[in-house]
Amino acid sequence: MSSRARAVVCLIWLWGCSEGAPPSSAPADAGAVTDGAAAADAGASTADSGEAAEDAGPDTRPQTLTHRMGPWMVPAGGERAADCESWTLHNEEPLYLSTVEMTATPGMHHSNWFFVPDDRYEGPDGTWACRTRNFDQGVASFLGGVFFAQSTQVQRETQQFPPGTAVVIPPHSRIIGALHMLNASATPRQVGIDFSVRTLARSAVRTRLAPFYLEYGPLEIPPRGRSEFTVECALDERARSLTGSPLDMRFYYGLAHYHELGSLMRVTVLGGAMDGRSLYETDARQGETWARTMDPPVDVSGARALRLTCAFDNTRSTTVRYGIGDQEMCIWFGFTDSAYQWAGRATQAARPMVQTEVRDGVSRSLAPCNELFSLRSRSMGE
């Protein structure tokens, strides 16, 4: 992988729940690359859309896979945020991921899961300290893709795509999860998580999916009050620079991520036929699922931008910022039929440019989308 391409991917997929890294962090040699075409030399697929390739090879068989992980012991009042879990699939053919059903015990605060080639992050399957294999969520997403993301503290959740749509997991893949466990009880707790995974036959797949990510990083949630934080990312301009055509994209799934103080998340379409309409909205509290299957898919083609807004109700006497534990996050994740993986966010570097006003008793902050990336999806042709 070229150093320029690595810079892009390491900046893109540093998920907020890599738990502990601030949202503007990146490897020291990453640089400040903002050209989404920088990954063109990184061996990515040259497919132009999420539609199935006509000559994709012989058919595959649908499968149901199950996997149980844990238990992990978490002491009373304790937190574990540095563990990874791996599960090698030993798949000789592509898997067309349709559904992931997750069951977790209390104490599994959040987890992000990726698929990577099985010659990466080598070592025994099971639990290991992420740092011992230099696991990085951004690099994992580039090497493979996103398998599953869990709503905060939810114990049962289903990531299900509409009929005929799937995420392609290439042959010889390994699943790796970055785990965050939190035991707020007064006694030690054993924590575990189970997956039941369903795949489609290749012949049943009409649309391949790629991940999409929005984030507001420079949170400063004032004490004893309500507040809103907004970032707008201009997708159409980037789409035209990549393809020479207006934005052409449909969403099939969406998932919010915030913590205890979060009261609302909304993603709004700006411009185009859906101007001013919500792509996604939830006021569900921590512990409730934020997963949304979009069937029929939501077509944002022709839109100028997407606006991410997070609302918080801070009853505490202190300012709350971006982070794990008792701090907050503002992240939205989705799957689209774009040929590109997308990521847009306001990072900590945008803090001096944040505009804040108090209106109707609510502190409202607007930050620029100072990082917007698009990487060619690697498995569209499978």
Q: Is the peptide bond before 170 cis (omega within 30 degrees of 0)?
A: no
Rounded Cα gap, residues 309 and 283, in angstroms: 12
User: Do residues 223 and 339 share a domain?
Assistant: yes
C-beta separation of 6 from 207 below 8 A: no
C-beta separation of 346 from 231 below 8 A: yes
Average pLDDT, the chain: 87
Count of alpha carbons within 13 angstroms of residue 28, beta-carbon side: 0
Q: Looking at the DSSP assignment, which residues form a beta bridge with residue 168?
A: 96
Place of tokens 């090497």: 143
The answer to whether residue 340 scores a pLDDT higher than 50 is yes
Instruction: With CA atoms as reference, report the closest residue to 382 among 41, 96, 49, 141.
Output: 96
For residue 358, tell me if it sits in a domain: yes
Reported confidence tier of residue 11, pLDDT bands at 50, 70, 90: very low
Rg, C-alpha atoms of the chain: 20
The stretch 190-201 carries a mean pLDDT of: 98
Instruction: With CA atoms as reference, report the closest residue to 337 among 59, 72, 13, 47.
Output: 47
The stretch 63-78 carries a mean pLDDT of: 96
For residue 20, tell me if it sits in a domain: no
Burial 93-113 (b: 16+ CB within 10 A, else e): bbbbbbbbbbebbbbbbbbbb
For residue 53, tell me if it sits in a domain: no
Q: Looking at the DSSP assignment, which residues form a beta bridge with residue 336?
A: 210, 251
The answer to whether residue 5 scores a pLDDT higher than 60 is no
User: Do residues 230 and 148 share a domain?
Assistant: no
User: Do residues 232 and 350 share a domain?
Assistant: yes
- Counting the structural domains of the chain, the total is 2
DSSP-assigned letter for residue 203? G
User: Do residues 285 and 157 share a domain?
Assistant: no
pTM of the model: 0.85
Residues of the domain holding 87: 64-204
- CA 219 from chain centre, in angstroms, equals 19
Q: How far is CA 340 from CA 140, 176, 208, in A?
A: 16, 22, 11
The answer to whether residue 34 scores a pLDDT higher than 90 is no
- Domain end, chosen from 204, 236, 270, is at 204
Please tell me whether residue 138 adopts helix, strand or coil conformation: helix
For residue 21, tell me if it sits in a domain: no
What are the pLDDT digits (tens) for 221-266? 999 999 999 999 999 999 999 999 999 999 999 999 999 999 999 9
Rounded percentage of the chain residues whose pLDDT exceeds 70: 84
User: Do residues 368 and 228 share a domain?
Assistant: yes
Please tell me whether residue 81 adopts helix, strand or coil conformation: strand
Q: Which two tokens stand for residue 364?
A: 């409202």
Q: Is the peptide bond before 117 cis (omega within 30 degrees of 0)?
A: no
The answer to whether residue 92 scores a pLDDT higher than 70 is yes
Reported confidence tier of residue 381, pLDDT bands at 50, 70, 90: low
C-beta separation of 330 from 214 below 8 A: no
Q: Which CATH number goes with the domain that contains 123?
A: 2.60.120.230
| pLDDT score, position 142 | 84
Instruction: With CA atoms as reference, report the closest residue to 141 among 166, 123, 114.
Output: 114
Rounded Cα gap, residues 348 and 343, in angstroms: 15
- Domain end, chosen from 158, 187, 204, is at 204
User: Do residues 228 and 200 share a domain?
Assistant: no
Instruction: With CA atoms as reference, report the closest residue to 267 among 286, 247, 290, 241.
Output: 290
Write the burial class of residue 45 (CB in 10 Å: 0-12 exposed, 13-18 middle, 19+ buried).
Answer: middle
User: Do residues 218 and 360 share a domain?
Assistant: yes
Rounded Cα gap, residues 161 and 251, in angstroms: 10
Q: How far is CA 306 from CA 69, 209, 309, in A?
A: 37, 19, 10
